[in-house]
Amino acid sequence: MSTGDYLRYLRAMKGGPTPQEVEEATGVKAGDYRQMEQRYRAIGSEEELASLAAYYQVPAEELTSRVQWTRKALSAALVEAVEQDAPIRLEMRSGHTVTGKVQWSDLGSALLLLDNGQEMVVQRHMVERWQLVEA
Q: Which of 64, 85, 109 is the last residue of a domain?
A: 64
How confident is the model at residue 40, as a pLDDT?
58
The verdict on 59 and 88 lying in the same domain is no
Q: 1 in helix, strand or coil?
A: coil
The verdict on 127 and 94 lying in the same domain is yes
Backbone angles phi, psi at 61, to 5 degrees: -60, -25
Q: Which one-letter DSSP state was computed for residue 40?
A: S
Q: How many domains does the chain have?
A: 2
Q: Which residue has the higher pLDDT, 83 or 5?
A: 83
Residue range 53-60: average pLDDT? 94
- Which structural domain, as residue segments, surrounds residue 102? 71-132
CATH number at residue 127: 2.30.30.100
> Looking at the predicted structure, is the pLDDT value of residue 88 above 90?
yes
Q: Which of 64, 89, 108 is the last residue of a domain?
A: 64
How confident is the model at residue 52, as a pLDDT?
93
Residue 26 to residue 29: CA distance in whole angstroms: 9
pLDDT band at 89 (very low <50, low <70, confident <90, very high): very high
